[in-house]
A and B are shown apart, each in its own frame.
Chain A
């Protein structure tokens, strides 16, 4: 158990809908990362937060947004969902987000858009 909690584990929804994925980082970790893993694109970095502030942005679509709350949990919001958004979404956390930081991953949320 990595100590990173993601809910829900599975999500099935329809095109055009909006969903929220939730992540609780390991105790003491200030940095949270979101990744998307799809069969054709591999593992893609979406966005990183550090202590409530956005630190880095990757290949995140404008339909997607995230935030990190004062208690350090994070939410990833996906809106106007398309079939291609079906993927495994990971949250990871680390102490500071620096060069030698180890990112520990949650079990993922598997999103199916029908």
Chain B
């Protein structure tokens, strides 16, 4: 079974609108971390935001926020007031706290976001 599922292969959003990128995860561990990364067409992988499983509040970083719903095992990324520069691939990743996981990051397949002017 896939541990990280990003169900939206691609999305088109109008500039200045908010956008939500979906991510669901599967783990039996109580302690885990969730990450979002952005990969523009230039190729670099840019860290955006982190949410720990024990964090009581949703993480926010500027225009990025993470809608964390633990019971539903979802960690959706919300980008407010989208900009043309937000066009990129977005990856959700998880790190489990299990010792035998060696804390490796497990990656989703990504969502390609295109912002329309």
Q: Which residues of A contact B (CB under 8 A)?
A: 2, 33, 42-43, 45, 48, 55-56, 58, 88, 90, 92, 97-108, 110
A55 and B35: CB pair below 8 A?
no
Q: Quick one: which of B45, B46, B102, B103 contacts A101, CB cutoff 8 A?
A: B103
Interface residues of B in 4-58 (CB under 8 A from A): 31-33, 35, 37, 42-47, 50, 52
B43 and A107: CB pair below 8 A?
yes
A48 and B47: CB pair below 8 A?
no
Residue from B37, B97, B104 having most chain A Cβ neighbours under 10 A? B104
Binary contact readout B97-117 vs A (1 if CB under 8 angstroms, 0 otherwise): 100001111010110000000
Q: Quick one: which of B31, B33, B91 contacts A43, CB cutoff 8 A?
A: B91
Bound Cα distance from A104 to B91, whole angstroms:
14
Bound Cα distance from A99 to B91, whole angstroms:
18
Give every chain A residue within 8 A of B43 (Cβ-Cβ). Answer: 88, 107-108, 110
Contacts A43-B107, A99-B97 given; indicate if A48 touches B46 (C-beta within 8 A). Answer: no
Bound Cα distance from A98 to B46, whole angstroms:
19
Sort A-B residue pairs by CB-CB distance and give the 3 closest, nearest first.
A56-B102, A105-B45, A43-B107
Give every chain B residue within 8 A of A45 (Cβ-Cβ). Answer: 104-105
Bound Cα distance from A33 to B68, whole angstroms:
27
CB distance from B81 to the nearest CB of A (A): 24
A97 and B46: CB pair below 8 A?
no
Bound Cα distance from A56 to B105, whole angstroms:
11
5 residue pairs A–B, Cβ–Cβ below 8 Å:
A45-B104, A58-B104, A99-B32, A100-B52, A105-B44
